[in-house]
């Protein structure tokens, strides 16, 4: 069964740090780009960060640039999000998401879509 | 790239045909995906590359469009289709989503 399981969320004070983890199983993790997407309770979806299969391409939404770092360990089938200098605006449910493609830079060779989602881990900054 | 979705909410009945529209702030070819989200659940991919049906998605869902205007159509609403729907562009990063459409039972 294809599965993504997030962990590491919790209650943290403004200015502090938190590290989210995502454990992948049921597919060849090393072949696909991965993302973090967040959702404030009752609001819409916001893409936070993405990473290519080989970690050579990274992308961030402007509001987290310089504060958040996405990384992956293909040997351990794991995705991470290091979140520093947290603010109340970062309070949300954070989803780990698999892409259909290996890259985050669009190429005509691939189709792009977020086809597997975890159940999310809640981050509360207060 | 801004994605503007309309309407933000929609009331419809079982059996109705429903269309949701998404407009991109620039030409993005066919790099649009559509997702369905039910309360308390993670989103699910319905359509990728504007019109390709994701595996396991019922054929009553369809997508169309290119350039800056895209649509998601549900041909005959079923009770399980009442949910929120989001478009998303995969043309460039950041991978922006539309603000969502909440589809409610009339």
pLDDT digit string, tens, across residues B38-59:
999 999 999 999 999 999 999 9
For residues B7 and B24, what is the distance between their CA atoms, to the nearest angstrom? 15
B44 in A contact zone (CB under 8 Å): yes
Within 13 Å and on the Cβ side, how many CA atoms surround B66?
A: 4
Cβ–Cβ < 8 Å for B54, A115:
yes
- Cβ neighbors of A26 (< 8 A, separation 6 or more) are A1, A2, A3
For residues A98 and A113, what is the distance between their CA atoms, to the nearest angstrom? 8
Cβ–Cβ < 8 Å for A34, A47:
no
B98 contacts in chain A (CB < 8 Å)? 44
**Chain A nearest C-alpha distance from B15 (Å):** 27
For strands B101-105 and B9-12, give the pairing.
parallel
B96 in A contact zone (CB under 8 Å): yes
DSSP state of B97: B
Cα–Cα distances in angstroms (integers) from residue B47 to residues A35, B9, B11, B31, B53, in the given order: 18, 20, 22, 11, 5
The model's pLDDT over A45-78, given as tens digits with 9 standing for 90+, comes to 999 999 999 999 999 999 999 999 999 999 999 9
Per-residue pLDDT of chain A (126 residues; tens, 9 = 90+): 999 999 999 999 999 999 999 999 999 999 999 999 999 999 999 999 999 999 999 999 999 999 999 999 999 999 999 999 999 999 999 999 999 999 998 888 888 899 999 999 999 999
Q: Cβ–Cβ of A112/B35 closer than 8 Å?
A: no
Closest-CA residue of chain A to B87: A45
Q: What is the pLDDT of residue A15?
A: 98
Closest-CA residue of chain B to A114: B45
Alpha helices in chain B (DSSP H): none
**Chain A nearest C-alpha distance from B12 (Å):** 21
Percent of chain B at pLDDT > 70 equals: 100
| Closest-CA residue to B95 (of A72, A33, A1, A87) | A33
């Amino acid at each position: 069964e294809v599965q993504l399981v997030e962990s590491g969320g919790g209650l943290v004070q403004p200015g502090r740090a938190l590290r989210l983890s995502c454990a992948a199983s049921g597919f060849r993790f090393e072949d696909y780009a991965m993302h973090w997407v967040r959702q404030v309770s009752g609001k819409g979806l916001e893409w936070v960060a993405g990473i290519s299969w080989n970690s050579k391409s990274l992308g961030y939404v402007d509001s987290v640039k310089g504060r958040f770092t996405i990384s992956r360990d293909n040997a351990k089938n794991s995705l991470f999000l290091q979140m520093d200098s947290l603010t109340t605006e970062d309070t949300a449910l954070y989803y780990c998401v698999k892409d259909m493609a290996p890259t985050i830079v669009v190429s005509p060779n691939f189709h792009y879509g977020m086809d597997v989602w975890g159940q999310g881990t809640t981050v509360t900054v207060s | 790239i801004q994605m503007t979705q309309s309407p933000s909410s929609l009331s419809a009945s079982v059996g109705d045909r429903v269309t949701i529209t998404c407009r991109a702030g620039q030409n993005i070819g066919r790099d649009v995906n559509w997702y369905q989200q039910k309360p308390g659940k993670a989103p699910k991919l319905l359509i990728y590359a504007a019109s390709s049906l994701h595996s396991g998605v019922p054929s009553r869902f369809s997508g169309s469009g290119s350039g800056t205007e895209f649509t998601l159509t549900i041909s005959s609403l079923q009770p399980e289709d009442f949910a929120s729907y989001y478009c998303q562009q995969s043309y460039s990063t950041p991978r922006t989503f539309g603000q969502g459409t909440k589809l409610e039972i009339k």
